[in-house]
Amino acid sequence: MKKILVVLLAAAALFATACSKGAGSSTKVGVSMPTKDLQRWNQDGANMKSMLEKAGYTVDLQFAANDINTQISQLENMITGGCKVLVIASIDGSSLSNVLATAKKKNIQTIAYDRLIMDTDAVSYYATFDNYKVGTLQGDYLVDKLGLKSRSASDPVYMEFFTGDPGDNNINFFFGGAMDVLKPYLDKGVIVCPSGQTAKAQAATLEWSTERAQSRMENLITSNGYSPKGTKLDAVYCSNDSTAQGVTQALLSAGYDASNFPVITGQDCDITSVKNMIKGTQSMSVFKDTRTLASKVVEMVDAIMKGSNPPINDTKTYDNNVKVVPSFLCEPVFGDVNNYKALLVDTGYYKESELK
C-alpha cells in the first residue's frame, strides 16, 4: 500500500510540474515576424523564441520578408505543423482574416503582437505598448524642446511630419497621439508646416522604409529650399527610428550637422538611432523594452495552455472592426542623449561597445 501511495504521489508531482509549465516541450508555438530588415523585429523574434523555450515550449519562428503572401503561407504551415498558439506581428493587419479563420476552426488561439490584427474575430488577445502614449511622448518632447508654450505665430517653428505604413493600425495611435499634442499649435500658427503635408496619408511611409523616408525628405528639401543657410527647418516629427534615419540621411546630405540639426523624434531606440542621438543627429527615441513585451506574451501563452485568463489591462481601446480585442499595454518611455546609458546600457539592453 505504501509503495502504491509513493507511486501515486510521484505521478501527481510530475503532473503538477508539467501543468506549471504549460504543455511543455511537446507544445509548439508559432511566432510570425514581419521582416529581418529592421533591427527591432530581429530583437523581438529572438526575445520571444528564447523566453518561450525557457518556459518549455517548442517555437517555430518565421520572418516574412515584408511580404504579405509569404506571411500567410508561413502561418498556414504553422497551423498544419501543429502549433497550438500563434503570435503574430502582422505586415498588413487586414490581410489575415482567412488564414486565421482556419486557425480558429482548429481551436488555435492567436495573439496579435505589437500590431493589431484587423477585421477578424479570430484574434484572441493583443500584446503591445501604449501606442497612443508613444505619440504623446513624442509630441510632448517637441513642445518642450521647441519651447512651443512660450511662442506665438509671430515666432513660429517650422516642421515636417513622417509616420509609418498605412497598413499598420499602430500609426493611428502614434500619429494620432502626437497630433493631439501638436495640432493646437498648428491651428494657432505656432507650428508651420511649409509643405502643408500634415495629414496621416500625406505623412505615411510605406513599409516604414528608411529609403522611402529619405527620398520624401529629399523632395521636401528640394521643393522648400531647406538648408542651414536657406529655408528654416526646426523639427521633423518621425513616428519611428527607421523613418527618422532616412530623414537624418537626407538632412546630412543637405549640409546639416550636429551644430544646427533640426529636432528629430523616433521610436524603438535602434542602435543606429541611439548612435545618432549621441552624435546629435537625432534628438530622441521612444524606448519600448521588447523583453517586457516578450515576457508578457509568454504569460499569455501559459494562461491559454492552462485554460486560465491571460493578463489584460485594457478592454476598451483596440477595436479591430469586428471586436474589441482584450489587450495588455506595456509602458513606453523616452530616451535621449541624457538618459540613454541608464535606460539601455545599465539595464543590459545594449552593451556600451555596441553604441560606439
Phi, psi angles (nearest 5°) of residue 251: -70, -35
Q: What predicted TM-score, i.e. pTM, was given to this entire model?
A: 0.85
How large a percentage of the chain has pLDDT more than 90? 89
Average pLDDT score over residue span 128-145: 97
Return the pLDDT at 9.
Answer: 38
Reading across the β-sheet that carries 28-33, which strands appear in turn? 58-63, 28-33, 83-88, 109-113, 125-129, 327-330
Residue at grid coordinates 513585451: 293
Q: Is the dihedral of CA 346, 350, 355, 356 positive or negative?
A: positive
The strand ranges marked E within the chain are 28-33, 58-63, 83-88, 109-113, 125-129, 157-162, 191-192, 235-238, 263-264, 284-287, 327-330, 333-336
Return the pLDDT at 6.
Answer: 38
Q: Over the stretch 297-310, which tens digit does the pLDDT of each residue have?
A: 999 999 999 999 99
Q: Over the stretch 222-269, which tens digit does the pLDDT of each residue have?
A: 999 999 999 999 999 999 999 999 999 999 999 999 999 999 999 999
Residue 203's pLDDT band (cuts 50, 70, 90): very high
- Whether residue 114 has pLDDT greater than 80: yes
Q: Over the stretch 29-72, which tens digit does the pLDDT of each residue have?
A: 999 999 998 888 998 999 999 999 999 999 999 999 999 999 99
